[in-house]
Homo-oligomer: A and B are copies of this chain.
Amino acid sequence: MKNSKLIKVLIEPDGMEIHVPAGMLLSKVVAASGRLVEAPCGGAGTCGKCRVIVSGEVSEPDSSERRALSAEDIQSGVRLACRIEVHGEIIVSIPETSRSMSQKILSQGLLRDCEVSSGVRKIHCSLPKPSLEDECAEFERIADFLSAQDIVVRPKLGLVRRLSRILKKSDYDVTAVLCDDELIAVEPGDTTSCCYGVAYDLGSTTIVGYLMDLLTGEELGVQAVMNPQVVHGDDLIVRIGFAGAHENGLLALQAGAVDAMNRIAELLIDGVQGSLENIYKVTVVGNTCMTHLLLGIDVASLGQSPYVPALCRDVQVSAEKLGLSFCPEACVTALPNIAGFVGSDTVGVMLSTKWEYDGRTRLAVDIGTNGEMALMHEGKTYVCSAAAGPAFEGAGISCGMRGAPGAIDSVSLGESVQITTINGLPPIGICGSGLVDAVAQMLDAGIIDETGRMLGLSDVGHLSQDLRSRLIETKSGLEFVIATKQESGNSRAVTITGADIRHLQLAKGSIHAAIQTLIKAAGASDTDLHEILLAGAFGNYIRVESAIRIGLIPAIEIQKVFSIGNAAGAGARLALLSEEEMDIARKLAGSAKHIELAVSPDYQMELMERMMFPEGCTKVS
């Protein structure tokens, strides 16, 4: 009986009130309020990233909270949102560090031109009205009108069901919407000028949507939201586990993605004062797991070796069937994938960079928890993915955090340490690009050697007084202080530890080893590389010099390395606007050769080697 009562939860600092059933997990309450807390461990209670401050009636701390939090913390109300249940009226305060709302989101990518031929067109029709002399069926009225323009349409049941009402309401003055010469909608009045499509980049952390005019090809807006699936785990593997472990797990993950896509579209359509019903076409890129989840396809086989997807080629589904609140028959196309861990986002990157146009050797790398990369050499494309771990996203790093405001995103060492932070806020942690920068600088400064070992106090006599003072000895070993942050009125150090450096070595080593494996498979060498394209957020914010310095990517001339932003999203936009581009995407996906690193002896060898840092001769100004 107690369960049926709704309980008031006040969420600070926003002061939002929400009423939830007793016994609900606090992380779900927070998610239900439209906020998200960090959950890299997927709610297992091990990462300790979802700290909140609670007052009121909640469940007792369990063993994982007792491990992750100090007795003092618990005393002062600090708890893990993923572990506690709401029992009575409570107030929750979510510290900035635990929120995953304010992450820096990369929406821009290069958008090259293409001829607009989306397959969607609208035709204004004044139809004859029924009478006893003209008892032609409603659908036939519109079919006959279109047939006079050499367009042969077949009835779609969903449309026919609604047709009578629309024709009567509009007094038989309507606009027909055609997609690939299929009649997908009939709208009252003349709506020929409103013809929208949305291209989505379905990232595991962030979902970005671009509103495009399907007639002019103009980009009308861009919006991004956090992927709500994050509440079920940061990591794809955690989400795959969630989908398998819960009866409606897959459904919940799918609903999360669809919900976010709907929210994005609402924001976009508000921006042009339009109507969601006028969205007729949708393209989606994302990694293979994300597109499977969106389409409601079982992902169990993606969670175990061999990582076989259910589907690689592109698939079409109606907006209605997927739960998108657009024109019901709007055609949603998930671009083709290449393999279990090389998804349509990689295809999007290739598509947007005119991958094959000049036959030159090029490498595209998108670095995240997984690094996906593609190499074009002598007319052939080779792709692979490497599990980099979450270090580049700040997870697993002692003071690591996502690229959110207050994250240290660049570091340079001179006499002292200069840092910049996102939005210029006081530092609260270090994000991936900051970490790469810091380690590159520490290598150059001689604080770390090529094996990744931090030098002892006795070996750093060459450093300035300030830098030396930042090298501190702790119980768990040496740490280097990058900055000082304020927390609950106390000063705390933001440091790089020996373990942090090991994590980074493993991450960058696996990426670079994968690159070398591709190069070897193609029979090429580093010197063949005409360009390296760094796609995605991390590739956008990273300092190329530092990436080369730590040996994340091959050491080619800096001017041959390009950050290309959200190139996957750009690919989705091209495929949205042009059927021809969509065909190119199909061909790119179909002809790419996937190299499975798990069975590649080359990769194992390379990994050993690339874990080391390169010799320190490449100090770049």
Find out whether the CB atom of A132 lies under 8 angstroms from the CB atom of B596.
yes
Pick the interface stretch among A19-27, A296-304, A514-522, A611-619.
Answer: A296-304
Among B139, B165, B317, which residue has its beta carbon within 8 angstroms of that of A313?
Answer: B139
**Chain B residue nearest in CB terms to A295:** B157
- In the bound assembly, the distance between CA atoms of A237 and B140 in angstroms comes to 23
**Chain B residue nearest in CB terms to A339:** B135
- In the bound assembly, the distance between CA atoms of A140 and B309 in angstroms comes to 10
- Say yes or no: is A164 at the interface (Cβ < 8 Å to chain B): yes
- Say yes or no: is A489 at the interface (Cβ < 8 Å to chain B): no
- Say yes or no: is A608 at the interface (Cβ < 8 Å to chain B): no
- Say yes or no: is A559 at the interface (Cβ < 8 Å to chain B): no
List chain B residues, Cβ under 8 A from A157.
295-297, 315, 317, 321
- Chain A 159-182 interface mask (CB, 8 Å, partner B; 1/0): 011111100100000000000000
A323 to chain B, nearest CB (A): 13
Find out whether the CB atom of B160 lies under 8 angstroms from the CB atom of A297.
yes
Among B130, B295, B311, B315, which residue has its beta carbon within 8 angstroms of that of A308?
Answer: B130
Given A130-B306, A130-B308, A313-B155, does the pair A295, B161 have CB atoms closer than 8 Å? yes
Given A164-B301, A297-B161, A301-B164, does the pair A312, B137 have CB atoms closer than 8 Å? yes
- In the bound assembly, the distance between CA atoms of A133 and B595 in angstroms comes to 9
List chain B residues, Cβ under 8 A from A139.
310-313
Which A residues from 435 to 450 make CB contacts under 8 A with B?
Answer: none
Find out whether the CB atom of A599 lies under 8 angstroms from the CB atom of B138.
no
- Chain A 139-169 interface mask (CB, 8 Å, partner B; 1/0): 1100100000000000101001111110010
A557 to chain B, nearest CB (A): 35
Count of chain A residues with a beta carbon within 8 Å of a chain B beta carbon: 46
Find out whether the CB atom of B165 lies under 8 angstroms from the CB atom of A305.
no
- Chain A 312-328 interface mask (CB, 8 Å, partner B; 1/0): 11010100010000000
**Chain B residue nearest in CB terms to A136:** B308
- In the bound assembly, the distance between CA atoms of A132 and B135 in angstroms comes to 63
- Say yes or no: is A87 at the interface (Cβ < 8 Å to chain B): no
- Say yes or no: is A131 at the interface (Cβ < 8 Å to chain B): yes
Which A residues from 237 to 251 make CB contacts under 8 A with B?
Answer: none
Find out whether the CB atom of A308 lies under 8 angstroms from the CB atom of B138.
yes
Among B143, B301, B313, which residue has its beta carbon within 8 angstroms of that of A140?
Answer: B313
List chain B residues, Cβ under 8 A from A298.
161-162, 164-165
Find out whether the CB atom of A137 lies under 8 angstroms from the CB atom of B306.
no
- Say yes or no: is A340 at the interface (Cβ < 8 Å to chain B): yes
Which A residues from 501 to 548 make CB contacts under 8 A with B?
Answer: none
Find out whether the CB atom of B313 lies under 8 angstroms from the CB atom of A135.
no
List chain B residues, Cβ under 8 A from A306.
130-132, 134-135
- Say yes or no: is A620 at the interface (Cβ < 8 Å to chain B): no
**Chain B residue nearest in CB terms to A598:** B132
- In the bound assembly, the distance between CA atoms of A138 and B157 in angstroms comes to 30
Find out whether the CB atom of A138 lies under 8 angstroms from the CB atom of B310.
yes
A322 to chain B, nearest CB (A): 9
Find out whether the CB atom of B596 lies under 8 angstroms from the CB atom of A310.
no
List chain B residues, Cβ under 8 A from A295.
157, 160-161
A351 to chain B, nearest CB (A): 20
A and B contact pairs by CB, cutoff 8 A, 27 listed: A130-B301, A130-B308, A131-B306, A132-B305, A132-B306, A132-B599, A135-B307, A137-B308, A137-B309, A137-B313, A137-B339, A138-B308, A138-B310, A139-B311, A143-B313, A155-B313, A155-B315, A157-B297, A157-B315, A157-B317, A160-B310, A160-B311, A161-B310, A164-B297, A164-B300, A164-B301, A168-B301
Shortest 4 CB-CB contacts between residues of A and residues of B: A137-B312, A130-B308, A132-B599, A139-B311
